[in-house]
Amino acid sequence: MSIHAPLYSLLASPASTSPSGITTLSLPIVIAVAIMIAAAICASFLAYFARARRIVRETSAALSAIGDLNARFIERVTPLPVLAANFTYRASSKANFDRFDLNEYARSCVLEREYWFASEIEARKLRAGEYASYSNELMAAGERTIGRSSDDRVKPSRYKKIEQRLFYRSILARPTPIAQVVTTVTYTSPQGRNSYRKHTEWGFAALQSHLQTAQAVRAQRSTTTYLRAQERRLLTPSLRADILRRDASRCRMCGASASDGVVLHIDHVVPVSHGGRTVSSNLQTLCQSCNLGKSNRFSG
Ligand SMILES: [Zn+2]
How wide is the angle at C-alpha 10 spanned by C-alphas 8 and 11, nearest 5°? 65
Query: In whole angstroms, what is the distance from residue 125 CA to residue 248 CA?
Result: 64
Q: Tell how far the Cα of 217 is from the centroid of ligand 1, in angstroms.
A: 34
Q: Tell how far the Cα of 274 is from the centroid of ligand 1, in angstroms.
A: 22
Partners of residue 223 on adjacent β-strands:
none
Query: In whole angstroms, what is the distance from residue 202 CA to residue 213 CA?
Result: 14
Partners of residue 268 on adjacent β-strands:
283
Query: In whole angstroms, what is the distance from residue 112 CA to residue 87 CA?
Result: 12
- Ligand 1 ion: Cβ-proximal residues, 5 Å cutoff: 251, 253-254, 287, 290
Structure-model confidence comparison of residues 83 and 191, the more confident one: 83
CA nearest to 270, candidates 279, 282, 278: 282
- pLDDT one-digit tens code per residue, 100-153: 999 999 999 999 999 999 999 999 999 999 999 999 999 999 999 999 999 999
What 3-state class would DSSP assign to 282? helix
What's the pLDDT at 11?
46
Q: Tell how far the Cα of 279 is from the centroid of ligand 1, in angstroms.
A: 21
- pLDDT one-digit tens code per residue, 192-242: 889 999 999 999 999 999 999 999 988 888 887 888 788 888 999 999 999
- 283 membership: H or E segment, kind and range: strand 283-287
Q: Tell how far the Cα of 222 is from the centroid of ligand 1, in angstroms.
A: 31
Q: Tell how far the Cα of 264 is from the centroid of ligand 1, in angstroms.
A: 8
Which residue intervals of 21-147 are DSSP H helices? 26-59, 61-77, 94-98, 102-112, 114-145
Dihedral sign for Cα 50, 52, 55, 57, please: negative
User: Residues 194, 188: contact at Cβ < 8 Å?
Assistant: yes
